[in-house]
Amino acid sequence: MSIILNGIGVSKGIAIGNAYVYVRATTRAKEYNVPAKYHQKEVERLHLAVTEASQQLHDVKQKIAQETPEDILAFIDSHLLMLEDPAFDEGATSIIKEFSCNAEWALQIQCDRLVQVFDEMEDPYLRTRKDDVIHVVQRIQHCLAEKPKSTSEPVRLKGRIVISDDLTPADTLVMQHEKVAAFVTEFGGPMSHTAILARNLGIPAIVGVHNARQLIHPTEKLIIDGHYGAVIGDPDARSLKHYRNLRQQNLKRKAEYKRLINKPAITLDGCPILIQGNIDRPEDIRNLKHFDDTGVGLYRTEMLFLENNQAVDEETQFKTYKRALFRLKGKPLTIRTLDLGADKEIRDALSQGPMAHNPAMGLRAIRRCLKEPENFIHQLCAIMRVAAYGDVKMMIPMMTSIDELEQISALVEHAKELLRQRKARFNDDIEIGAMIEVPAAALSSAIFAHRLDFLSIGTNDLIQYTLAIDRIDDEVNYLYNPLHPAVLQLIKITIDAGKSAKVPVSMCGEMASDPRYTRLLLGMGLDYFSIQANAILEVKDIINNSDIGVLRPKAEEILRCHDLQKIESLVDQLNR
């Protein structure tokens, strides 16, 4: 008898195959007393385990490096950096000596402390990074444990659908290397590493399927629908035939999309649409070029700071941004200034003061930069210096008022004067734009549009701030909906403000990367998409088969509607 389990579809696609229930070896730390004379020996055990864990990850990289893009291998690198971080080694060493306890228990205490810091963060991406801490600690714990050598034959995973509680980046990459068909996890959200890697690797994946390991039998035949988040167990012949047909259609479409690589995006009625990519680091440009030789509409610079866990000097920033620009080979680069704050802290996590009661509403992004102008000046100088070498724009995150814009303008002029005094080469006329991420900014977008060179709508934060919900919180994420009438109105206000002032308006949030919303956004007047690399070709295909003249009145009907269910129905009709 068939069963249907539901979760969150985080990577689209259809997969059909037999289940493989993956159970990672877990080592629950137990506490025991270690006399002072043995403290150093226990510390050495810890150091050896950290070294072994690091070697395991290097082995994973070596095994798959030849066929894996640099941007994907960066997930393994982030775990290697954690293993080198004193927060793991020195922190656990201090606990061993302070509490006279064993290395396993000290490491568990350190892990719990770090996880608590991440749990208090409001930013969805960073909060899910606590999984990295847990994964790295579990790997070290496993190395600390005495493990018998396995004599069993390795499991063949090719074509199997992996069912697990969660997966580490190393697990995911190794399984992709072995050509698994799909992933299903009991935990995780849209921003988890499993979700991000699955999307980048093009593997269907569903997360948040609670109790999947108990409800799915090993080797059971499964159907995975990554779009709707459905897992069908023991499917009947009719279901198998239906989904096999869907899978063939999807594969055919993907093959057809390849013809669009490096081709322009133009609607049926002749309107050119600009599509660019989003990146976190220069290495991501390699993956972007697999899909299109285009520019970058969003370069999130805070990742450089977070990965180094410290402020980055001007020269390092300049060289990093310049590397990104040169990899684009003449295509434009839009650099977003730092989006750091109470929930994106670069100091040692344990040295932080009390977390803000509501970090998302606190000192972050441009507010943080204006409060610490000396660091902001370094970034302004680095960006303007890079802009002397090509088409570079600067974008300010989380702008809310003209007063902030005045302060930014003054700091930009100050940075220019410093560069003149140093006789440094820089672009004195760099284009500056703002992210529209909060309702106040959207409602003030007409004013911003007349004072700035461009605007970019960040839908991730705009939706959360408008609806007052956290999209990775299991209790309320069902309320996260880009089609909420208030969200659509704010987007439309911003697009219209840009057209009135004759300045470009892009959208760089996840809504722009979701093909379901492409036609609606075209009908609303959006003509500049900045999206994740692997969504480019599908979005381009929809654009090339759309007529804005037909879409505009349908989008207007949707904007006049206040019933969410009806809006969703009208969007479905629009896509048919």
Enzyme catalytic residues: 193, 508
Q: Are 157 and 20 in contact (CB under 8 A)?
A: yes
- B/e letters for 76-87, b = 16+ CB within 10 Å, e = fewer, are bebbeebbebeb
Question: CA-CA distance, 548 to 524, in Å (whole number)?
Answer: 9
> Per the structure block, which two tokens stand in for 85?
């971080």
Helix (H, G, I), strand (E, B) or coil at 103: helix
| Tokens describing residue 39 | 């403290």
94 Cβ contact list (under 8 Å, min separation 6)? none
Q: Where do the DSSP E strands lie in 256-382?
A: 265-266, 272-279, 296-300, 333-336
Q: How crowded is residue 89: how many other Cβ atoms within 10 Å of its Cβ?
A: 18
Residue 530's φ and ψ, nearest 5 degrees, are -120, 110
Alpha helices in 298-401 (DSSP H): 302-308, 314-327, 365-371, 373-386
Residues with Cβ within 8 Å of 574's Cβ and at least 6 positions away in sequence, in order, are: 519, 520, 523, 551, 554, 555, 558
Nearest to 520 by CA among 479, 561, 465, 480: 561
Number of residues that make up the chain: 576
Tokens, residue 412: 């930009």
Reported as half-sphere exposure (CB side, CA atoms, 13 A), residue 422 has a value of: 11
